[in-house]
Structure 1
Amino acid sequence: MSLAFRPNVSIVDTDYGSVLLDERKGRYFQLNPSGRIVVRTLLEGGDSEEAAGALIEEYDVSRERAEQDVTALVEGLRAAGLVTP
């Protein structure tokens, strides 16, 4: 599963993660550093397993926890209408 933001969504990296702007609604969303890792992996064409692997490598969490976090983040982005279907 790769990821693509809708054309009206901008992403900017910060010292503390990333900020997403939904220009259509004028709403901002904050991603923490682990969220940034997941989003960048998926935007670069990686799948959910690769995103979970990146979290495991960076934070030494279990595969199960990493996979749950990736799924939750992607579902949240979809629910907010930030990514393409």
Structure 2
Amino acid sequence: MHLHLHPDVVTTETDDGAVLLNLKTGRYFQLNATGSGVLRQLLDGCAPDDIATALADRHKIPSERAENDVRAILDQLSAAGLVVTS
């Protein structure tokens, strides 16, 4: 699975994370720094499980929580039509 931003979506890094704008709908979405980092890694082709492992290690949280968090970000981005998989 490789993730891409939807062609109608642009992203801008901010001090607090990132903002994604759907140019077609005019809706925007904000990600905090952790969410932005997860998105960047997903777009770079990293596997969700590997991202979760790194988050669990970095933030000293249970791996199950990190896996759920990464999956939630991916699910929300997909449901909002911000990303597509190929």
Distance 1:45 1:76 in 2: 18
The equivalent residue for 1:84 is 84
Gaps of 5+ in 2: none
Q: Give the paired residue count.
A: 85
Distance 2:60 2:2 in 1: 23
| Deviation, structure 1 residue 2 | 3.4
Say which SS state the counterpart of residue 84 (structure 1) adopts: strand
* Structure with more strand by fraction: 2
CA change 1:73–1:62 in 2 (3 A) is same
Amino acid at match of 1:58: R
| Deviation, structure 1 residue 47 | 0.7
The alignment's C-alpha RMSD in Å is: 1.3
Tell me the TM-score normalized by structure 1: 0.90
Is 1:23 matched up with 2:23?
yes
Is 1:34 matched up with 2:68?
no
- Greater relative CO, 1 or 2 (CA 8 Å, sep 6+): 2
Gaps of 5+ in 1: none
Tell me the TM-score normalized by structure 2: 0.89
CA change 1:57–1:37 in 2 (3 A) is farther
Distance 1:71 1:59 in 2: 17
Identity across matched positions, percent: 46
Residues 37 and 51 of structure 1 are in contact (CA less than 8 Å); yes or no, is this contact kept in structure 2? no
